[in-house]
Amino acid sequence: MTRDDDTQPTSPDSDDQLLVLPDDLRHELKEPMGPIETDADRLLETVDGPLIAVGDVVTYHLLQAGHRPDVALVDGRTKRSAVDEEIHEAVTAGASIEVRNPPAELAAPVVRALRRALEADEPTTILVDGEEDLVALPAIVAAPEGASVVYGQPDEGMVHVKITDEHRAEMRDLLERFEGDTDRFWALLESDADA
């Protein structure tokens, strides 16, 4: 497993911090961005492009259904508690990138890792030290047309977002309302070069 160059713990004003979720946006993120499915096999019947999974339990259910996501982001936790050992072992078995991303933030290392994983030819699992939940937002912006982003909705199931220009525009607007360095965030997410 490789660690991204800049994944060491950092101070809050480090240049790794890009965006922070403001408290007044939290309620907007509670609404699912797509249909909720509880059966991984049924969900997979509607996937016909690259699949990006955000969350340990979601990734586990997709693996159990025989489908390895093209990109998976896991952090070893679900609903703020550690996942069962069986889930942890299954979802981290293929982890190839390890990055740090503090809760309620989008930091440079995880954005770089997402970009790299989306461009990789092989399925890529990103193990996040911290929290991976918010990475669903830039994944929706950066994923190719026709791709699927699947993330967990606590106590309800898996939310399936089939990528369209409309979804991308919604996520762009939402991310623009985060606090932090949005210019650098977009430069990192949308280019091959490190900004």
Locate tokens 């210019």: which residue? Answer: 183
> What phi and psi values does residue 159 have, to the nearest 5 degrees?
-90, 130
Amino acid at 9: P
Instruction: Please indicate if the annotation marks 39 as binding a ligand.
Output: no
58 is in an annotated binding site: yes
Residue 57 assigned to a binding site: yes
Q: Which alpha helices (H) appear in the chain, and where do they start and end?
A: 26-29, 40-45, 56-64, 85-92, 108-119, 136-142, 165-176, 182-190
Asked whether residue 56 is marked as a ligand-binding residue, the answer is: yes
Q: Report angle CA 73, 74, 78 to the nearest 5 degrees.
A: 135
Do the annotations mark residue 75 as ligand-binding? Answer: yes
- Binding site for GTP, by residue number, is 56-58, 75, 132, 155
- Binding site, by residue number, is 56-58, 75, 132, 155
